[in-house]
Amino acid sequence: MSPQLKAVEEIGVDFLKRKSQPSDILAPDFFSEKEVLRSRFAQLISAEDSQRIAILPSVSFGIGTAMKNIPFEKGDEIVVLEEQFPSNYYTWQQLKSEIGVSVKTITAPPLLPGRGQRWNDEILEAISPKTKCVALPILHWADGTKFDLKAIRDKTDEVGAYLIIDGTQSIGAMPFSVEEIKPDALICAGYKWLMGAYGLGVGYFGERFDHGTPLDNNWMNHENAEDFAKLVSYSPNFKPKAARYDVGEASNFIMVPMLAEGIKQLLAWTPQGIQDYCEGITKKAIDQLRQKGCFIEEADHRGQHLFGIYLPNTMNIEEVKSKISAKKILVSIRGNAIRVSPNVYNNPEDLEKLVSCFI
C-alpha cells in the first residue's frame, strides 16, 4: 500500500473528531462527500458522468457485483490471466461449480524478448464467440506487464463479451480513460495508487449495468434516500446508474473524504507526470539489472511505476531477498518476480541501493 499523504491523514483526523459531536452531522452530510469522491474519481479516469461511479468496500465486492449482473449460462467462457490477483479470480472460478461456465486462463509466455506482446496476442486469440466475459487487470500485479485493453475491448465487442477491469495496480499512477477503453466495469481499491485508506474503493459501471441488482440492498442506494422523513415510505426503485451499487454506509465519514483528498493530489500531479517521473528514476537501474542477467519486461509493455525482476540462474533469490531486507528496502515477492513499485516518494538513490543487492 502507498504511504499516507499528510493532507489525507489530516482530513481523516478532522473527520474522525466530528463523531465526538454527532449533532453536527446533518442529513446532507450523508451524501455531500460521496459526490465529491465520485466527481474526482470520474475526472481521474476521464469519465463524463460521475453517477457511473460506485463506492465499494473492496475489489472483490465490485467484481462480485459485476458477476451477479452478467447473464451467464452453462458453457460460457470467462478469460482470465495466469496468477492475476485472487479478488479477480475466485469470483469467476465460483461460477464453474454453480452453473458450469469455463474459466480460460491465459498463461504467461517464457521470459524472452517480445514476451509482453505475445501475452497480449494470446489473450486476443482466446476471445471467441463462446466468451461471455474477459476479466483482466490493466497491469499484471506480479510484474507490471501491460495489457492492450483497446485491442481487447475491440475483440470483446465483436463477440458481445463483457470487459471487467481491475485497476488497482495502475489507476492513479498511470493514465486511463474510460471514454477511450469503454470497459463495462472498472474496479479499483483505494489504498494503493489512489492514496486512500485501506477498506474503501471505487468502481465505474457502464451502461450494461444500468438496471442491475446490487449485492448490498441498503437504504441509501434506493431512490429518495435523501429525504429522511420519508425513509419509511419504502421505494422499490434503486438509484440510477452506478449509485445503486454503493455499499451500505457508503457515507463513511472518515474514509470517503480521505480518498477524495488523495485523488485531489493525484489530479494535481497527474498520472502521466507520475509515469514520467518513475521512468526517469528507474531507467538506469533497469539497464544495470539487465546487464546482470535479470529479465525485466520491455518499457512499452509494462508500467513505469511497477515492474518485476526475474533472476538469472546464477542468482539465488533467498540471498537477494536477504540483502534487500538488510538494507531495509521494501519490495514484494510475487510468484517468481521481485516486484518493484516506485512512485514520487522515491529518488534515483533508492534505485541504486536496490541494484546493489543483485550481485
Domain ranges of the chain: 6-269, 272-355
Q: Which three cell numbers mark 192?
A: 494503493
Q: Which residues have C-beta within 8 Å of that of residue 130, sequence separation ≥ 6?
A: 75, 76, 77, 102
Compute the average pLDDT of residues 42-58: 98
Strand pairing category for 131-137 and 77-81? parallel
Fold of 272-355: Aspartate Aminotransferase, domain 1 (3.90.1150)
Average pLDDT estimate for 261-269: 98
C-beta neighbour count of 340 within 10 angstroms: 25
Binning pLDDT at 50, 70 and 90, where does residue 335 land? confident
Answer whether residue 359 shows pLDDT above 80.
no
- Same CATH topology for 6-269 and 272-355: the answer is no
Give pLDDT, residue 334: 86
* 53-to-67, 161, 233 alpha-carbon distances in Å: 17, 21, 26
Distance CA 166, CA 186 (A): 6
According to CATH, what is the number of the domain 6-269? 3.40.640.10
Contact criterion met (CB below 8 Å) for 42 and 176: no
Nearest alpha-carbon partner for 346 in 292, 259, 266, 279: 279
pLDDT of res. 323? 95
Q: What is the pLDDT of residues 76-95, one digit of tens each?
A: 999 999 999 999 999 999 99
pTM of the model: 0.96
